Structure 1
Amino acid sequence: MERLIDELLDRHGTNLRDEPGIGPIAAAILLCEVGDPTRFDRESKFARWCGTGVVALSSGKGAGDPVKHRLDFTGNRHINSVLHIASVTQQRTQPEAVAYLARKAGEGKTRREARRAHKRQLANRVIRRTWRDETARKQPFALAA
């Protein structure tokens, strides 16, 4: 089944599987759930839709901006789950992810807050990849001379 999905993804022309932690099944889930990626005109809209956008934790009283944020418990739980699995996988295998999470911990963030920030970063990379794929798919094929 995974081999068949891999072939379908190749025909679709996606490069989502190039993102560490996103395999054929996760890429298929992303494509099916997102549909047309151009409906999201900004990364923040995609992040909000998939539940990785930040939500202020403060009551809004007092001066200044909120200091703490939490995960948005609304949004597409399937996509959020895929991003969580990719984040955990990257933490285990990718030095860049380890450094990012360590940097967030050094900024005083809890493990949960650091994970939220990493999932948001992943969401941004995923939507950018899908936008590029969609643009490439819409380009007319150049005939070889």
Structure 2
Amino acid sequence: MLGQLAEKTSPGLQSVPGIGPVTAAIIICAYSHHGRIRSEAAFAALAGVAPRSASSGNTVRHRLNRQLNRAFDVIVRTWLSFDADTRAYAERSRAQGKSPREIRRNLKRYVCRAVFRQMHAMA
């Protein structure tokens, strides 16, 4: 039933590999409605997958949606398990000296960007 509601609310979202009924519902709830989130960067900041500042000085904090971050983590782990291109990216990044955590964060940002574009196009 959750899958049917998610498909009705956001057609095609569950066609993205790694997005099932539960992750789709989390994404839809976080996105809420067209106009709530002004840009892909704001959506990434909400999910906690925006790049971190490397500058020193005062720390700027953002409100994070931990459920949304976890949903993107599930999607990324699914892609790493089943998608050859994603695994190849991870291997190249590992060869460049990036940590597994940094690789997942980069992939979450990529997924966030793709999901936001799809959600934004449906509105």
Q: For the superposition of Structure 1 and Structure 2, which TM-score range results when normalised by the shorter chain?
A: 0.7 to 0.9
5 Å matches for 1:48-63?
Answer: 48-57=45-54, 59=56
Aligned to 2:70: 81
Distance 1:13 1:84 in 2: 20
Distance change in 2, residues 1:106/1:74 (3 Å): farther
Q: Partner residue of 1:113?
A: 102
Please state whether the residue corresponding to 2:101 is helix, strand or coil. helix
Q: What residue in structure 2 maps to residue 30 of structure 1?
A: 27
Asked if the contact 2:47/2:69 (under 8 Å) is kept, the reply is yes
What residue number does 1:125 align with?
A: 114
Name the larger-Rg structure: 1
Matches within 5 A, 1:4-23: 4-23=1-20
Structure 1 stretches lacking a partner, 5+ long: 61-71, 135-145
- 1:47 is aligned to 2:44: yes
Of 104-113 and 20-29, the range deviating more from structure 2: 104-113
- TM-score by length of structure 1 reads 0.74
The ranges of structure 1 where at least 4 consecutive aligned residues each deviate by more than 6 angstroms after the TM superposition are: none
Does the aligned pair in 2 maintain the 1:14–1:130 contact within 8 Å? no
Instruction: After superposition, give the CA deviation of every residue in 1:42-62 in whole Å (9 maximum; x if it has no partner).
Output: 2111111110001134536xx
Q: How many residues align?
A: 120
Cα distance in 2 for partners of 1:52, 1:91 equals: 17
Gaps of 5+ in 2: none
RMSD: 2.0
- Inter-partner Cα distance in structure 2 for 1:21 and 1:37: 23
The percent of aligned pairs where both chains have the same amino acid is: 30
Determine which structure has the larger strand proportion and give its number.
Answer: 1
